[in-house]
Structure 1
Amino acid sequence: MKLSTLGRHGKESFKNLARNGWMTFASISAVTVTLLLVGVFVVIMLNLNEFSKSLEEDVEVSVFIALDTEQTEIDNLQQTIERLSGVKSVEFSSKAEQLEQYSNSLGADGDVLFELFEQDNPLYDVLVVKAEDPQNTQAVANRISELDYVQEARYGDEKVERLFSVINTSRNVGIVLIVGLLFTAMFLISNTIKITIIARSQEIEIMRLVGATNTFIRWPFFLEGLLLGFLGSLVPILSIVLGYDALYNWLSPRIQGGFIELLPVSPFLIQVSLLLASLGAIIGVWGSVMSIRKFLKV
């Protein structure tokens, strides 16, 4: 298609949007409301996903080594675990380090405990193991527990399984909600544009009678849908950018150092803005294409 023809279609699209003011407003409003909901859910889900990842990364297997195990045997056990499939990392923590950590967690009372057991330490040497995929922690722990010199492989099975269950459920629910909202947006914009096209059916028929091709007729509506979707995404983008920036600046100092952190403003908001603009354009184009298709059937 020539640039001059494309330019003509573009001008015609802007004229049609202005000529059908109320229908244009209705279409943009439908996209705006739906994309605003989608944007809010996307922001929430991405932050929850990041929070879930940080929780998953903290899941580890504590491998308690049998008492009186020689250091050479411990080193061999560590190398064996490192070679297991699905194991990401293995770190050794001696029983002296375990006692120090435990006494530190007790505060002032811990000093007395440390002095009491420093010479005759009853704790185990421990290998701290992390799985490549935290969801496979149980399988990794089961394999390790069968190895020689392993007293116990502990990972908090019930709590970890509940954690993964909640994480997977929240992710699935979020995906279903977002997909449902997108289909709702497509349905609304398709029907809104369809009403506009029905009102201009006579115009389409005249264009066909004078020899206009389906492609020539379709292009202005294609561009109109693109513009409607893009314009409908501007308010959601602006609202989410300003809202998230204000929330981040207010909440970050209050949760600093905690186990919950928000995704940083940049490049997160840029990515969300591009996503919403793309979704708006796709929804608008899809709605236009679906609506005009039946009018172009021979």
Structure 2
Amino acid sequence: MNIAAGVGQARELSILREKVLNDLDRLQTFLRQLFRNRLAFAGAVIILVFFAMSIFAPLIAGPYPTPVQGGATLDPPSNAHILGTDYQGRDIFTLLVYGGRISLLIGFSASAVAMVLGTLVGLIGGFYGRITDQVLARATDFFLVIPWLPFAIVLSLVMGPSLQTTIIAIAVVSWPTTARVIRSQVLTVKERLFIERAKAVGAGTPYIIWKHVLPNVMPLVWAEAVLTISNAVFTEAFLSFFGLGPPPGAGAIVSWGTMVNQAYTSLALISNPPMWWYFLPPGLAITLVVLGFAMVGFGLEDVVNPRLRRR
């Protein structure tokens, strides 16, 4: 018995090892295809630079400043402050380096929520069809026809500005697009022969969706997730500019969008001369991060949809 059990365990470990090696090989092949795309490679470099800047912020810029630690207010760039100071006398370069943490956190969190919700709606509606699909499709259409920026503004006003509110508002306006894309792919996948074979051997619907349908739509999910992060970072900056983003409490890290808002309220744009060092760095950071994620997203679409490469 012990010998038979040992042989069975060895066989299971061998199968698991082979599966892991196959998955790693497919991942390497996928990454090679992705980074052969110059657009995706350039976008990945931009994202990695800002990720590293946010993670190693204490090493790059020192501790996060507080209003009490601030010096002279609205100073132009100098040897002491390479990007000048804000209206509280805090170093703008330090705020810029730390601000990426909030913007990226909101982008990834909102995208994760939107991807889970959109993928579930697309999978269930596309696979079950009939009345289930009709109800979910109409709900998706309802959110799609609503102008997303005004809707996000209204949600933020109703729920009150906070980090959680910003994430929820962005996720609510982002999931319908993913649901539509996933549903259309599921409608194609569920008609394939291997799905019919799984049904013929008695596999249940949840098992088929989890084991057969979901893996075939995951490349599209990842591509949509990257593009949603790009939209989420922009939307957070938009909401924060109007004072509807995470409130900048005492000593709290401010996002890039909040920095632009503070520059605007400090009349940095219309001062004589304009205080470019206040509004330009966070605006440029937002632009580059949004562009970087969009470039990677388009590269992913190019990889998962070979027809795009032939255009």
TM > 0.5: no
What is the TM-score with the length of structure 2 in the denominator? 0.25
What is the TM-score with the length of structure 1 in the denominator? 0.26
Bigger Cα Rg: 1
More strand by share: 1
